[in-house]
Amino acid sequence: MYKFLKVERSGPVAVVTVNKPDVLNILDTPTVLEIEHCFGALASDREVSVVIITGAGEKAFIAGGDIKEMSVKNSIDGREYGRNGQRALFAIENCPKPVVAAVNGYALGGGTELAMACDIILASEKAVFGQPEVKLGITPGFAGTQRMPRIVGRGRGKELVFSGRNIKADEALRIGLANRVYPPEKLMEEALKLASQIAANGQLAVRSCKELINFAMDNDQDSGLAKEADAFGVCFDTQDQKEGMKAFGEKRQAKFEGI
């Protein structure tokens, strides 16, 4: 179905692989448009509870945008390229299912931006993150200036964006950019383990939690508390809530059906 992506299923977990290892999985326009379409489709797929995204090969998650493509653009074309990337990453961020980035190598520019659009970042010990755009005379264009300071704080975010320096996995973990770091051979195993843990929970509740946390990032606490109270109340009209609490009382694993 896709030329530059590979989508595989492992039960309720979908694994999306950016499959261009010969060019380090760079984000040219066709790839970005495929990502937008793919996550739009996964958002409505009732068989999928959690998504993992990774890059093909051992060298790169996503090495960045396509510099060759960008080098001939004017301001109008550049804006369109940025908007395309932003839409694709918002499709990831706004996907109702949790999305885990399994960062297995270079995640530079658009690669770091894509990882930051995911809910959780798991990194290989060989992972390298960075926003080197200023070294090319451009700004980040796929929401890097917006998500980076929200994740690592204003000071660290400005330092990384202004300097354009790359950071290794251990520093990404220390500053809160990555959630966990694993040996390369364990990365996908651990990503699938985490995804399975998430998928075993009540999916209506998990999706609501994602919506609530995303809402909290851009709104005041009082608004967030009101929205949370509403969502909490809605849970009590679901079969998942009844099954979850019944299973707890019976000391067994709940069997959620997403209703």
List the CATH number of the domain containing 215. Answer: 1.10.12.10
Tally Cβ neighbours within 10 Å of residue 222. 8
Report if residue 255 sits inside a domain.
Answer: no
Whether residues 209 and 194 fall in one domain = no
Report if residue 259 sits inside a domain.
Answer: no
Q: Choose, from 34, 36, 93, 113, the residue flagged as catalytic.
A: 113
pLDDT at 1 > cutoff 90: no
Report if residue 257 sits inside a domain.
Answer: no
Per-residue pLDDT tens over the stretch 165-180: 999 999 999 999 999 9
The overall longest dimension of the chain from CA atoms, in Å, is: 65
Whether residues 30 and 126 fall in one domain = yes
Whether residues 25 and 106 fall in one domain = yes
* pLDDT at res. 259: 86
Whether residues 120 and 51 fall in one domain = yes
* pLDDT at res. 228: 95
Cross-strand partners of 8: 15
* pLDDT at res. 36: 98
* pLDDT at res. 199: 96
> What is the pLDDT averaged over residues 101-115?
98
Whether residues 129 and 223 fall in one domain = no
Whether residues 178 and 210 fall in one domain = no
CA 164 – CA 158 distance, rounded (Å):
10
Residues sharing a CB contact under 8 Å with residue 73, sequence separation 6 or more, in sequence order: 81
Enclosing domain of residue 245: 203-249
Report if residue 243 sits inside a domain.
Answer: yes
The identity of residue 20, as a single letter, is K
Per-residue pLDDT tens over the stretch 114-150: 999 999 999 999 999 999 999 999 999 999 999 999 9
Report if residue 258 sits inside a domain.
Answer: no
pLDDT at 247 > cutoff 90: yes
pLDDT at 258 > cutoff 90: no
Mean model confidence pLDDT for the chain: 96
Per-residue pLDDT tens over the stretch 190-199: 999 999 999 9
Whether residues 195 and 210 fall in one domain = no
What's the structural domain count of the chain? 2
Q: Pick from 199, 217, 241: which residue ends a domain?
A: 199
> What is the pLDDT averaged over residues 70-79?
94
DSSP of the chain: --SSEEEEEETTEEEEEE--GGGTT-B-HHHHHHHHHHHHHHHT-TT-SEEEEEESSSSEEE--B-HHHHTT--HHHHHHHHHHHHHHHHHHHT-SS-EEEEE-SEEETHHHHHHHHSSEEEEETT-EEE-GGGGGT----SSHHHHHHHHH-HHHHHHHHHH--EEEHHHHHHTTS-SEEE-GGGHHHHHHHHHHHHHTS-HHHHHHHHHHHHHHHHS-HHHHHHHHHHHHHHHTTSHHHHHHHHHHHTTS-------
Whether residues 142 and 192 fall in one domain = yes
CA angle 29, 121, 253 (to 5 degrees): 120
CA 116 – CA 209 distance, rounded (Å):
18
* pLDDT at res. 107: 98
Whether 211 is a known active-site residue: answer no
Q: Pick from 158, 174, 199: which residue ends a domain?
A: 199
pLDDT at 155 > cutoff 90: yes
CATH number at residue 44: 3.90.226.10
Whether residues 134 and 220 fall in one domain = no
Q: Choose, from 34, 133, 190, 228, the residue flagged as catalytic.
A: 133
Whether 113 is a known active-site residue: answer yes
* pLDDT at res. 13: 98
